[in-house]
Structure 1
Amino acid sequence: MTTTAASDWQRWQTSWDRQQEWYMPDREERFRVMLDAVEAVAGPAPRVLDLACGTGSISDRLLRRLPGATTVCLDIDPALLAIARGHFAGDERVTFVEADLTGPDWTDRLPHASYDAVVTATALHWLDTDSLRRLYGTLSGVVREGGVFLNADHMVDESAPGLNAALHALHTERQERQRRQGALDWADWWHEVAGDPVLAEPAVRRFALLGDPREPRPAGARGDRPTATRWHVDTLREQGFGEVRQLWCSASDALVAALR
């Protein structure tokens, strides 16, 4: 992929979507259910916080579906934020915040004290158990009363290990076939980013801050990170949310909704 100017931001968005879909074939269905919940709870013009927004995938779909919405896109990754800023350039409905969710004062950087909906996808699995528990507690004070928090991420139902293993094997076989046909994985995509003249500098900052995705992770690097859907449901209740339930799931992912 060769990029030269801001006119190629849509190409980067599309490239990011294709790479993510290689991991999650049901990604668009997951987004649809998430936005159903936002509209059902918060109406046609919600104020939304897109948490760990990446390239702005959720906000892009949110604003196309609900043109009256406004969104705050927050992330720590300089390269992904560069793509998001380029993609949404000139759209006054979108505000950007660069912040670390593990820091004690990240909410001080937000332009609003509360939000109708807080949404996130394929992001919080990077946090360890204690950090995620603290974040859920903080979010119970960011979502307005009656608002909703939605987290779509890698979560599994641990009650069916045999079925999980069979589906994982099928998915892995499908991924390998798609790789032979030219699909990009996480590391490949970041090689493309690092080679782009517009994104090279924010990529260097990203690698220094968060590590280089082009390098294999050492064994055991994931550490203590929650993977069970039940953990997320129970912890959100413990941290101040009222109704909490799974809205959607696939073999490897789930969407959990928490009503404030």
Structure 2
Amino acid sequence: MADTVAAAPHWTAWQDSWDRQQEWYLPDREERFRVMLDSVEALVGPEPRVLDLACGTGSISARLLRRFPGATSVGVDRDPALLAIARGSFAAEPRVRFVTVDLLDPRWTEALPHSSYDAVLTATALHWMDGAALRTLYGQLARLLPDGGVFLNADHMPDESTPRLNAAERSYRRAARQRAKDAGAQDWADWWRALAADPALAEVTAERFARYGDPSAGDDHGDDPMYPPAWHAAALREAGFDEARAVWCSVTDGLVLALK
């Protein structure tokens, strides 16, 4: 099967700027993606049907299709602005489709084009959900995966049992980010301000702001509940997964794998 069809320059530019903005927060981002896709290949093979959960601009799908020409992906999200970039970027790509869903809607899985998936993948996307919502979601995902199917969640997963280590990491990372910012890097708020100023995306970005708030006013994830990898692994086992554990971590972030 042919490689991913190149996106139009306008969409490529927004994908690139999204990646750079995310890397400002997550310098290990590409390593997390590598471990995620290694795990997919090891457990379900090189031609998986994937659900890209809370897909944003389609970062996981892009890397999945580059690595696995025989893979297919369904990306789901509720953010109209990020989905506009995703749909524009993959408009000529038959291996991926995008569906608007709200993961807090108890019937969101009914909007999916397939009843089961080999793998469900998500990255830096579920930390806004509280524990009860995550437990519900994990149960829904367990029902979407067959025996042998895999779920991988890469996200902020700090461990509050190491306060001195956490404080040192925050200080180090804050200084590194400031140096990058001084050199012209965009943070979360900068990126959304730039998106709102793009005439082609101004209307859909305004729709996003009206629905979910204006992230260009600052970091709108500061009060999100966040849980350590062990919490996620335990919740996934309770939700119906046979095995669950962290397969990668940094001081602040983790990648938890759950196997049906």
The reply to whether TM is greater than 0.5 is yes
Distance 2:249 2:257 in 1: 12
Checking the alignment, whether the CA contact within 8 Å between 1:157 and 1:230 is kept in structure 2 is no
Checking the alignment, whether the CA contact within 8 Å between 2:230 and 2:245 is kept in structure 1 is no
Q: Which residue of 2 aligns with 1:123?
A: 125
- Structure 1 residue 230 displacement after superposition: 1.5
Distance 1:217 1:32 in 2: 27
Q: Which residue of 2 aligns with 1:175?
A: 177
Instruction: Determine if the alignment matches structure 1 residue 82 to structure 2 residue 84.
Output: yes
Q: Which residue of 1 aligns with 2:4?
A: none
CA deviation string 1:196-215 (max 9, x = no partner): 01111110111111111012
- Aligned pair count reads 254
Q: Which residue of 2 aligns with 1:106?
A: 108
Distance 2:187 2:227 in 1: 21
Q: Where in structure 2 are the equivalents of 1:69-218 lying within 5 Å?
A: 69-216=71-218
Q: Secondary structure at the match of 1:144?
A: coil
Distance 1:167 1:222 in 2: 19
RMSD: 1.5
CA deviation string 1:25-80 (max 9, x = no partner): 00000000000011111111100000000000000000000010000010000110
Q: Which residue of 2 aligns with 1:251?
A: 251
Moved over 4 A (4+): none
Match of 2:52 among 39, 50, 53: 50
- Structure 1 residue 231 displacement after superposition: 1.1
Amino acid across the alignment from 1:226: M
Checking the alignment, whether the CA contact within 8 Å between 1:245 and 1:257 is kept in structure 2 is yes
Q: Where in structure 2 are the equivalents of 1:231-246 lying within 5 Å?
A: 231-246=231-246
Q: Secondary structure at the match of 1:135?
A: helix
Q: Which residue of 2 aligns with 1:222?
A: 223
Distance 1:129 1:226 in 2: 9
Distance 1:7 1:170 in 2: 36
Q: Secondary structure at the match of 2:149?
A: strand
Checking the alignment, whether the CA contact within 8 Å between 1:168 and 1:251 is kept in structure 2 is no
CA deviation string 1:213-232 (max 9, x = no partner): 012468x9726x23222211
Q: Secondary structure at the match of 2:154?
A: strand
Distance 1:78 1:183 in 2: 25
Checking the alignment, whether the CA contact within 8 Å between 2:21 and 2:191 is kept in structure 1 is yes
CA 1:159–1:217 in 2, change beyond 3 Å: closer, same or farther? Answer: closer
Amino acid across the alignment from 1:96: F
Residue identity over aligned pairs, in percent, reads 61
Q: Secondary structure at the match of 1:175?
A: helix
Q: Which runs of 5+ in 2 are unaligned?
A: 1-6
Q: Which residue of 1 aligns with 2:3?
A: none
Q: Which runs of 5+ in 1 are unaligned?
A: none
- Structure 1 residue 24 displacement after superposition: 0.3
Checking the alignment, whether the CA contact within 8 Å between 2:209 and 2:215 is kept in structure 1 is yes
TM-score, scaled to structure 2: 0.94
Q: Which residue of 1 aligns with 2:22?
A: 20
Distance 1:211 1:60 in 2: 27
Q: Secondary structure at the match of 2:64?
A: helix
Checking the alignment, whether the CA contact within 8 Å between 2:56 and 2:79 is kept in structure 1 is yes
TM-score, scaled to structure 1: 0.94
